[in-house]
Structure 1
Amino acid sequence: MAQSGSSHDLLDAVRSGASGPELQEIDLPTRFRAAFTRKDEVGIFEGKTDKDVRRSLHVGEVDMPELAPDECVVAVMSAAINFNTVWSAIFEPVPTFAFLEKFGRQGWHGARHDLPHHILGSDGAGVVVRTGSGVKSWKAGDKVVLSPSYVDEEDHGSYDDGMMSETQLAWGFETNFGSLGEFCIVKANQLIRKPAHLTWEEAGASTLCAATAYRMLVGSHGARMKQGDVVLIWGATGGLGSYATQLVKNGGGIPVGVVSSDEKAEIVRSQGCEHVINRSDLDLGEQGLRHPKAGRMLGEAIRRLVGEDPGIVFEYLGRETFGASVYVAKRGGKIVTCGSSTGFKHEYDNRFLWMRLKSIIGSHGFNYHEAVQTNRLIALGMIHPTLSKVFPLDEAADATRAVQTNQHIGKVAVLCGATTEGQGIDDPALRERIGEQNLNLYRR
């Protein structure tokens, strides 16, 4: 008979390396600690200039939900903060409780998600502790990283490309029970084998940004970068940009990174990006990159570095940069975009798009295959985590605030079940071959 257990009983067993059968002998806790927003606080930022997420993101105990047949319970060792966590915590562009209410109308499995609280988090790593009755390929004790793409296998669109499913959701943003807690609930097709040489905090901070960049640049649904392509990368030390730089370099392309300081420029160069532009050196005045001459000045800077215009522009900043992105791409070039962190409404001169036969490619997230392929590159040591800072779960709001105010580079992690940094390494020999200087570049 299973023993009665608390969250700490099960977490302690995971931390000690208990086997799958041993983990199953300990009952799931009925409650566990997590970071969440509250439905009754929607609207607290109305009229506020500074929408400080530390007011809206809480850490406390929540109920363990019932498990569906195609789902697993994962003891989360580490999670990561993404910008969708910020959006959730400021209740913009719409409160995420609207997503949970819509999901709640899809039968009992969806109704579990429609709660007065929303457990956030779309990146993480941990250990499987329970599997639903329909799960075939995973078992308790498996060490995994988590893909945030939540796909309905009964939607025909998912068989062409998971992201083309009309019912595809961003886990931990459009669903409940995300990664920022001691436990999370995932569908089995969100699980990927953890790279053995990484710590928990490193493994849990890569999938969303790295795989998003992979789809944009490498996968068949994005820009389909080839050897020798010049790729302009905005925000080259950001969560997305830091992986895009590595993917371009690793794939034989020529990255040109745009950063905002000399310190960030040095980090990008250490990643192997020879060509870096500090946007503050462009002297664009108060209008910044929306200056009418910004595109021309940026294009001249790129040509001075590499001798030609970029064939691909890696774009996720949106309003501030999109006009310049369309301008600087070469004839027949591609602007691939996955977001608009500086604003959703873009302005650009359409003449430079149609008369020079350029293309804008919309890209959102990634499918399961792309997530697995990205993780393979990480497991081989060809792409490295870009983790810069780690917080404990109690300080999840502070971690989110750091991302909200751009007081970070690369990725920010949150320790959930792991007790200290540096735990979870299963292949120290591979780690030594790769080198701590590469794995910890963003933590200098």
Structure 2
Amino acid sequence: MVKEILEAILAGDTPPEEFAALPLPESYRAVTVHADEVDMFEGVPNREKDPRKSLHVDEVPVPELGPGEALIAVMASAINYNTVWTSIFEPLPTFKFLQRYGRISELTKRHDLPYHIVGSDAAGVVLRVGPGVTKWKPGDEVVAHCLSVELEDPDGHDDTMLDPQQRIWGFETNFGGLAEIALVKANQLMPKPKHLTWEEAACPGLVNSTAYRQLVSHNGANMKQGDIVLIWGASGGLGSYATQLALNGGAIPVCVVSSPEKAELCRRMGAELIIDRRAEGYRFWKDEQTQDPKEWQRFGKRIRELTGGEDPDIVFEHPGRETFGASVYVARRGGTIVTCAATSGYWHEYDNRYLWMNLKRIIGSHFANYREAWEANRLIMKGKIHPTLSRTYSLEETGQAAYDVHRNAHQGKVGVLCLAPREGLGVRDPEMRERYREEIHRFRNV
């Protein structure tokens, strides 16, 4: 039955009624972690924990479809750091999230299973919609963002990210996107950009939306034209979208990278001010317990050399512990440090004098609400922001893909083919694609 679904998608002109009539399979292939393996890396240093050992490709039953939900055939997905964290069971096993979610209702109980289907990105086709869904129908080509909300509490109705039941799909919920079929809420769906392949369309969802809220939205740094924006990891999965958003919005990015190859990627995106922190030897910590303020000062001086004497209006933070002290120091008086992650460690230390006496702000930013995700996707559809896909793996190679991201042996975003039999499929607007071919391919083969 999966074969029939794939044939209907590859045909490119299958009408909605035929998609609706396609029988659903009883099971499908999915990338999972297992509850009985959560202790497998006990005592192993973080860097040595190997996702290839914990991520499995299993045959799993198709979940029951509930009200307001949709089942999608996933053509492609992508690797995010939350899948790496899930695979190494840090900072805690995600089964605790699934158990907590499962206690809410009979419907959410479906998520509390001894296996967790991971993945927070997807591009594919709607197969079925549940009761109450009117915006989407079988056959619609879509991408999924990863915000899952219940919205029964008032707190989420100004900004859905503040819903007490806000979760990240495929990380804090089950039935994620690294699979042949995924279960989503209908308000996670957005139109697939017609000029992109399945694997290209699958890559921006989480990181582009996260960067949009963090940098552009009034819920984040509220970036304006002319702002100087310091971007850590500027060629990476998250930073590459922040760099594009800064350039597209008239700001001036200062891109921090760790190799000449990554510096070249930033230049390809149009950035001019680049710091290769490995080549320039910045060491913000003397040892595990002691930071080095002289290195903060040297780093700030280097930024001013590039900007003509100006400090950053905004610091786009996500490495966390390793860089946070420097980030607080180098932001300009009245500037903003906006943080969405902590890939180098969760416990942050900084000199508070530089925060309070210079009237700086630290803003916490987490993913994006539906409107922000929609706007970020609209920029992709308009050809203003481009995917940063560098390499694609098969579903069976997901463990290797996660391992490469964990070891930072990747550029931009890493894609995974799910149902798609090969790369290059799914383009519906070849003219627009040709117009942006160079931008779409700039992270390839680097």
> Which range moved further: 54-63 or 151-160?
151-160
Conserved 8 A contact 1:282-1:297: no
| Residues 254-278 of structure 1 deviation map (CA, whole Å, 9 limit, x = unaligned) | 0000000111111101101110001
In the alignment, structure 1 residue 30 sits paired with structure 2 residue 26: yes
2:371 corresponds to: 369
For 1:376, the aligned partner's letter is R
> Which range moved further: 285-294 or 223-232?
285-294
Displacement of 1:437:
1.4
What does 1:219-298 correspond to in 2, within 5 Å? 219-284=217-282, 287=285, 290-298=291-299
Displacement of 1:86:
0.6
1:306 corresponds to: 307
| SS of corresponding position for 2:431 | helix
1:71 corresponds to: 69
TM-score normalised by length of structure 2: 0.96
| SS of corresponding position for 2:439 | helix
Counterparts of 1:182 and 1:441 in 2: how far apart (Å)?
28
Displacement of 1:398:
0.9
Coordinate RMSD, CA, aligned: 1.2
What does 1:6-155 correspond to in 2, within 5 Å? 6-17=1-12, 18-49=14-45, 50-155=48-153
What does 1:402-421 correspond to in 2, within 5 Å? 402-421=404-423
> Which range moved further: 46-55 or 271-280?
46-55
Runs of 4+ in structure 1 off by over 4 angstroms are: none
For 2:35, the aligned partner's letter is K
| Residues 220-254 of structure 1 deviation map (CA, whole Å, 9 limit, x = unaligned) | 10010111000000000111100000000100100
Conserved 8 A contact 1:195-1:378: yes
Conserved 8 A contact 1:146-1:191: yes
Conserved 8 A contact 2:328-2:354: yes
2:318 corresponds to: 316
Displacement of 1:11:
2.3
For 2:301, the aligned partner's letter is E
Counterparts of 1:96 and 1:194 in 2: how far apart (Å)?
29
Gap regions ≥5 residues in structure 2: none
In the alignment, structure 1 residue 437 sits paired with structure 2 residue 438: yes
Displacement of 1:286:
8.7
Counterparts of 1:150 and 1:72 in 2: how far apart (Å)?
13
Conserved 8 A contact 2:285-2:322: no
2:201 corresponds to: 203
Counterparts of 1:186 and 1:311 in 2: how far apart (Å)?
37
Conserved 8 A contact 2:81-2:405: yes
Displacement of 1:281:
3.2
| Residues 143-172 of structure 1 deviation map (CA, whole Å, 9 limit, x = unaligned) | 000010001132222210010111000000
For 1:99, the aligned partner's letter is F
Counterparts of 1:291 and 1:267 in 2: how far apart (Å)?
30
| SS of corresponding position for 1:441 | coil
Distance 1:81 1:287, change over 3 A: same
Displacement of 1:285:
5.2
For 1:314, the aligned partner's letter is F
Distance 1:327 1:157, change over 3 A: same
Counterparts of 1:170 and 1:81 in 2: how far apart (Å)?
14
Conserved 8 A contact 2:284-2:326: no
| SS of corresponding position for 1:413 | strand
Displacement of 1:133:
1.6
For 2:25, the aligned partner's letter is P
2:424 corresponds to: 422
Conserved 8 A contact 1:282-1:298: no
Gap regions ≥5 residues in structure 1: 1-5
Counterparts of 1:28 and 1:281 in 2: how far apart (Å)?
54
| Residues 326-347 of structure 1 deviation map (CA, whole Å, 9 limit, x = unaligned) | 0000000000000100000011
Displacement of 1:207:
1.0
1:3 corresponds to: none
Counterparts of 1:117 and 1:65 in 2: how far apart (Å)?
13
| SS of corresponding position for 1:107 | coil
Displacement of 1:23:
1.5
Counterparts of 1:376 and 1:25 in 2: how far apart (Å)?
31
2:214 corresponds to: 216
Conserved 8 A contact 1:332-1:358: yes
Counterparts of 2:151 and 2:428 in 1: how far apart (Å)?
33
Conserved 8 A contact 1:20-1:129: no
Counterparts of 1:203 and 1:386 in 2: how far apart (Å)?
10
